[in-house]
Amino acid sequence: MDRVRLGIISALAVNEELSFVVLRELLGVTDGNLSVHARKLEDAGYVVIQKQFEGRKPKSNYRLTVIGRKAFEQYLDEMEQMIREVRGG
């Protein structure tokens, strides 16, 4: 899994909702980079992007979907299994 996409999903797994600005700062990526990766996750059904305006400024909020949470948990299970195999346990 791509580092940025994994970062988005990980951040959303422990936060009910995060704004674009907070996600960008947490991950240390550019606006364009975050937008592209978030769109891919949205297209896959893993993330919901809610766009609104506060005053005249656009604001995007991100949430992990049930499908996204299940996929993340499966990914973690696979990584844990791989770690156990590498450690011989």
Number of domains in the chain: 1
Measured between alpha carbons, how far is 62 from 56 in angstroms, rounded to an integer?
Answer: 20
What token pair was written down for 56?
A: 């005249």
pLDDT in tens, 31-41: 999 999 999 99
Task: Evaluate the CA torsion angle 41, 63, 35, 22 in order and state its sign.
Answer: negative
CATH number of the domain that 46 lies in? Answer: 1.10.10.10
pLDDT band at residue 7 under the 50/70/90 scheme: very high
Q: What pTM did the predictor assign?
A: 0.89
| pLDDT score for 89 | 65
Residues 27/34, Cβ–Cβ less than 8 Å: yes
The domain containing residue 46 runs over which residues? 3-86
Q: Name, in order, each residue with C-beta under 8 angstroms of 50's C-beta and a sequence gap of 6 or more.
A: 60, 61, 62, 63
